[in-house]
Amino acid sequence: AQKVTQAQTEISVVEKEDVTLDCVYETRDTTYYLFWYKQPPSGELVFLIRRNSFDEQNEISGRYSWNFQKSTSSFNFTITASQVVDSAVYFCALDSGTYKYIFGTGTRLKVLA
Amino acid sequence: EAQVTQNPRYLITVTGKKLTVTCSQNMNHEYMSWYRQDPGLGLRQIYYSMNVEVTDKGDVPEGYKVSRKEKRNFPLILESPSPNQTSLYFCASSFKDRFYGYTFGSGTRLTVV
């Protein structure tokens, strides 16, 4: 069975703090893709990053970085020097190529000024 | 502008009255999908379509129908809505390989009374 677990329901940080959002996945497939999406208070869903199962390189994009570890089935997302505009719900998702695309339950991040 | 257009944005209806939520994309995407978002449950896949005339059930298909007669359109049909279908619905599309992740519509907030 496929599953995505985001155990952190809600996180609050003060602006400029670093924060890591956890994502743990389960799949029996050897080829799969992992994604992060952002849902700001306005409600739209925005694609942030995609990783395939053969590429364990970490990725950095500005203040965002992602750490993919197959050994622990995790795909964690770190925001460095958080800002109020980072306040949103963040979803991790798994696509194992069966055309079913599974989302986690999301982590609500609140960045306080 | 590349986008997924959902209509309506808001809908209040009564139990049992058939309704259709439309979804259209202008990116020539093969893959389209419907999700519902409920508090604490994240996004759950209702139906997906890999191409014209090819659809399959997601994790929560009961009470919903879809069709894919044209590549750009993927309407969601509730033949006899019930209050437990009150939710926020998202349509999404992507290329078949889903390399760039989903593009989501703006969402449809449905209330069934």
Residues of B in Cβ contact (< 8 Å) with A91: 42-43
Query: Are B102 and A37 inside 8 Å of each other by CB?
Result: yes
Q: Residue B100: which pLDDT band, with cuts at 50, 70 and 90?
A: confident
Spatial separation of the C-alpha atoms in residues A46 and A61, rounded to whole Å? 15
Other Cβ atoms less than 10 A from the Cβ of B80: the count is 12
Average pLDDT over residues B13-36: 96
Q: Which residue of B has its CA nearest to A92?
A: B42
Average pLDDT over residues A2-26: 96
Q: Which residue of A has its CA nearest to B50?
A: A99
Select the residue of A43, A46, A105 nearest B41 (Cβ to Cβ): A105
Q: Which residue of A has its CA nearest to B96?
A: A99
* Cβ-proximal residues to A50 (8 Å cutoff; 6+ apart), any chain: A33, A34, A35, B98, B99, B100, B101
How do residues B41-60 score in pLDDT, each as one tens digit? 999 999 999 999 999 999 99
What distance in Å separates residue A23's CA from the closest CA in chain B?
13
Average pLDDT over residues B97-102: 76
CB A12 within 8 A of CB A108: no
Residues of A in Cβ contact (< 8 Å) with B48: 99-101
Question: Among B23, B22, B20, B21, which Cα is nearest to B3's?
Answer: B23
